[in-house]
Structure formats: C-alpha cells, structure tokens
Amino acid sequence: MRNLLLLFFSVMTIFTSNAQDNWTKLLDKDLTHWNTYLSFKHQPGYDGKAPKDKDGNLIAPIGLNHDEYKVFTVIEENNEIVLKISGEVYGCLFTKEEYANYDLKLKVKWGDKKWTPRKNLLKDTGILYHSIGPLGADYWRTWMLSQEFQIMEGHMGDYWSQATSAIDIKAFIPESTMNPVADKGQPFISMGYGEKIPGFCLRSANYENKEGEWNTLELICFENKSLHIVNGHVVMILENSSYVQNGEKIPLIKGKIQLQSEAAEVFFKDIEIRHLESFPAKYLQYYTEPENKK
C-alpha cells in the first residue's frame, strides 16, 4: 500500500510539473495571438488629454487593427521571429485572450529610432497586464485600464498604474518630491488611483543589459500577487491588484496583455506564457514576513 501511495504521489508530481512547464508561444509571423490598436501620431502641444481639432472636436483615434503606419511588424533576425514596434504612433499590440495565474517571459532590446515627444527623452515601452475594459481608457485614448511593468532605459521593472488601477508594493515610503523605491525588505504600501501615493514606483535596482543586447523579462501573476523580474533579478514585489469602478474598489487579477508603442523603436522575441496552478515555490519567500518584523 505504501509503495502504491508513493507511486501515486510521484505520478501526480510529474503531471503537475509537466502541466506548469507547458509554455505557449505567443509570437508567430502572422501575429495570430494579437490585435493592434493605434491612437494618434503625437503632435506638439499634446498634453496627455485626448487631442482636438481646430474647432474643438475630439479627433478620432486610428483605431483597432488598422495599422496604416506599419507600427507592428514581424521580421526575421538570425533565423528567429522578432516583433518590431516602430513607436511612430502611440498604441498597443494586445492579446486576443485574457489570462490569469500565469508566468510570462519575453526578450526585449532597443532600436535606434525615437519620435516626438521622446526625441530627447529615454526610450520607453511597457507590458500592461490585467488589461480590461475599453481600448484607449488612459493617456489620450491609448491604453486599456491595467497594471504596467515598465520597460524604459534604466527603468526596466518600474510600476505605473493605468486609468483607475492601484496596487500594493514592497517599497520605501516616498518623501517630498521623491518617488517610492521598491525593496524586498520593506512593508507593502498602497499606490495608484484613490491612494495617497500616486501610481508610480521605481524598481529596486537597474539590471538592464548593455545597449544592443537582449534583456529577459519575466512577469509572474498568481491570484492577487505579481512579480517583476529583469534578467533573473526580482525588482518589484506586488500584491492586492485592484481598480475603481463607480466608487467601488474591485480586484484586478485577470485580463489581456498589452505591449506599448510609445515613441521609441523596440524589438521583442521569445514571447511565451504558461498557466500556473500555484505560486512558484522559489518566490514565496518574497511574501513571507521576516522573523524580526513579526
């Protein structure tokens, strides 16, 4: 009987392990897992609000799956499929499916081009996760309500809230004009829509590779927890993802994934995702309170 039980648990362990190692590739030459959305080609004077014409009427965004500028294209580099985002027009590539409880991995590197208004600023893009609701809910009708894993030169792994989202992050409390800074040894603090602290937090440290090199990013989301991981380093620990609707705070733990076009040329490859049945054991330590703080 004992041997049968051992055999049963061994089979179940292998089955669970195989299930969690079942990665789905999200990038192919025809972008079959994705839709595109474009808002506007940035013009001088745009201030984050939806732009208007000379008569004060709202300008319609370019819209859904109408990529006349070829912002999102698939190329081949060293016999590998690579997604090129030109950045010329603000917008996003977003998954057709919604995801919850997953591990997302991808590789990213910068191109050479920058567009208005980022010509004299850092190159910028991002992974927007738990994306729900209408397209163009935030920043002059560009992105869905979501949480952001920031991808910016020197800032890979920062957090931004989008629209009415909020979250708790292990971070140092900001002071005066300072920003909160993520740190695994600090308590969780709330930030984002409706909170005392605005929806931005700096990653714990800069682990970006040299310019021209690929960076491996990993986003782990399970129930109300998420981790931002850059080149193998956990740079942000988050929990209690939420958003506000009609004055009510609602958990935000499932949604589509957006990749931003944000005035900078950027390349992605090896985009893959797997479903998680449980939070990865190797990272549980980040949610356990140290003995000296109990």
pLDDT digits (tens, 9 = 90+) for 139-160: 888 999 999 999 999 999 999 9
Asked if the structure places residue 201 within a domain, the reply is yes
Q: Are 238 and 229 in contact (CB under 8 A)?
A: no
What is the CB neighbour count within 10 angstroms for residue 275?
14
Asked if the structure places residue 17 within a domain, the reply is no
Confidence of residue 29 (pLDDT cuts 50, 70, 90): very high
Measured distance CA(197)–CA(155) in Å, rounded: 19
Asked if the structure places residue 14 within a domain, the reply is no
- Judged against a pLDDT cut of 70, whether residue 20 lies above it is answered with no
Instruction: Give the burial class of 7: count Cβ atoms within 10 A of its Cβ; 0-12 exposed, 13-18 middle, 19 or more buried.
Output: exposed
- Judged against a pLDDT cut of 50, whether residue 15 lies above it is answered with no
Please name which of 140, 189, 195, 203 lies closest in space to residue 164, comparing C-alpha atoms. 195
Whether the bond between 117 and the residue before it is cis, its omega within 30 degrees of 0, is yes
Measured distance CA(138)–CA(284) in Å, rounded: 33
Lowest pLDDT segment from 34-48, 81-95, 197-211: 34-48
Q: What confidence tens digit (pLDDT) does each residue in 252-283 have? A: 999 999 999 999 999 999 999 999 999 999 99
**What CA–CA distances, in Å, run from 66 to 38, 128, 173?**
7, 21, 43
Sign of CA dihedral 207, 211, 214, 218: positive
- Judged against a pLDDT cut of 90, whether residue 53 lies above it is answered with no
Confidence of residue 48 (pLDDT cuts 50, 70, 90): confident
Domain containing 141: what range? Answer: 93-112+122-261+270-293
Compute the average pLDDT of residues 222-242. 98
Tell me what pLDDT residue 158 has.
98
Confidence of residue 239 (pLDDT cuts 50, 70, 90): very high
Asked if the structure places residue 224 within a domain, the reply is yes
Confidence of residue 47 (pLDDT cuts 50, 70, 90): confident
Helix (H, G, I), strand (E, B) or coil at 285: helix
Write down the residue that tokens 């081009």 correspond to: 113
What value does the mean pLDDT of the chain take? Answer: 92
Asked if the structure places residue 204 within a domain, the reply is yes
Asked if the structure places residue 220 within a domain, the reply is yes
What CATH number is given to the structural domain containing 246?
Answer: 2.60.120.560
More confident residue, 56 or 293: 56
Domain count, the chain: 1
Compute the average pLDDT of residues 183-194. 97
Lowest pLDDT segment from 44-53, 108-117, 205-214: 44-53
Q: Are 288 and 279 in contact (CB under 8 A)?
A: no
Asked if the structure places residue 144 within a domain, the reply is yes
Task: Give pTM, 2 decimals.
Answer: 0.90
Asked if the structure places residue 157 within a domain, the reply is yes
Tell me what pLDDT residue 45 has.
79
Compute the average pLDDT of residues 156-173. 98
